[in-house]
Amino acid sequence: MRAAPLNCPYCGEPSIEPVGDERAFYCSSCDRRFELRFLGLGEGGA
């Protein structure tokens, strides 16, 4: 399952789209590019 986040984590606008290689996204509202990483299951810890 691949689910894109609905809102930009920086500006909160729902204007992000996948770009370039696989985990990269671009927000056209704040002009940021960023990458999402899967860290594992569960809450994890510090």
Q: Which is nearer to Zn ion, 24 or 30 (CB)?
A: 30
In angstroms, rounded to a whole number, what is the distance separating the alpha carbons of residues 21 and 12? 22
Contact footprint for Zn ion (CB under 5 A):
8, 10-11, 27, 29-30
Question: In angstroms, what is the minimal distance from the CB of 29 to Zn ion?
Answer: 5
Question: In angstroms, what is the minimal distance from the CB of 41 to Zn ion?
Answer: 27
In angstroms, rounded to a whole number, what is the distance separating the alpha carbons of residues 32 and 38? 20
Sorted by sequence, the CB contacts under 8 Å of residue 10 that are 6+ apart come out as 27, 30, 32, 34
Question: In angstroms, what is the minimal distance from the CB of 15 to Zn ion?
Answer: 7
